[in-house]
Every structure is written in structure tokens, then in C-alpha cells.
Amino acid sequence: MMTKKLMFRAETLKPVMMDVKNNGGGVRLVGAEGIYLTARNPSYVGAKRTIAYAEGFDLEQWDDIGALFDAMDDVTGIECAIIEDLPVDTEMLELLTTGEADLAVHIIEGEFLLAAVVRGAEVNHAE
């Protein structure tokens, strides 16, 4: 069984997690033009929702869109667009809104598992 991992850094993730805290509903993992998280019930800035890209999967950082899509398929194991709603429990949400933790999304055989990463240790798994 092969596990792949996406990382979301606290600095870019905090605004998304504040949306989750304020509006409820968990997060939505999207893999389309890059891979990013957004609140399932987002606040909008103008006509745009707040998003946080996974490290290495921001569309703006790729010159070759085909290579980006290949990398996305490789890390997710899914060869199409992804829209996956994921719950975030209260303890994890607190860690992520304070900026004390990054977020790892582990991908195991098409399933997504969230883990807050604090000072090198992963804690508080929620599926």
C-alpha cells in the first residue's frame, strides 16, 4: 500500500481555516488547475474564494501545464479532477487557525486523511 502526501503550510492555510471556523462545513480539496484547499462554505473576497495551494502544486509555479497534470496524477493516484469534501475536527481546526501547525493530506488508495503537523510530529488524524 503506497501512501502519498500533500503539504499545506500554516502561512497560506490560516485564512482558509478561519473560513472553516467562522462558516463551518470542513474543507474542500480541489485538484483541477493545481491542487488546493478551500473552505466548503467559503467567505468570498470579491468574486473569489480564499484558497491555499499544496506545496509544489500552485499553477503559477509551473511553465508546463502537462507536467503539472502528470505530477497531480502521480501524487493523488487519480487521473481526473478531484473535488473531495473533508471534515476538520475542533482540535485540529484550533491548531490550524492559530498557525501552530501545517496540514498534511495523506492519500492512501484514493482515500484522504488529514493530519496536523506540529513541530515535526503529526497529531490529530481525522478522516
Q: What is the pLDDT of residues 78-127, one digit of tens each?
A: 888 899 999 999 999 999 999 889 999 999 988 999 999 985 555 555 54
Q: Is residue 96 part of a domain?
A: yes
Q: Is residue 112 part of a domain?
A: no
Domains in the chain, number: 1
Query: What's the burial of 3, exposed, middle or buried (CB within 10 Å: 0-12/13-18/19+)?
Result: exposed
Inter-residue contact 92 to 114 (CB < 8 Å): yes
CA distances from 112 to 44, 64, 67 (A): 26, 27, 23
Q: Is residue 24 part of a domain?
A: yes
Domain of residue 45 covers: 9-100
Instruction: Report which of 44, 43, 57 is spatially closest to residue 8, judged by C-alpha positions.
Output: 57
Query: Bridge-partner residues for 38, per DSSP?
Result: 28, 51
Q: List, for residues 45-79, the tens digit of each pLDDT value.
A: 888 899 999 999 999 999 999 999 999 999 998 88
Q: Is residue 127 part of a domain?
A: no
**pTM attached to this predicted model:** 0.88
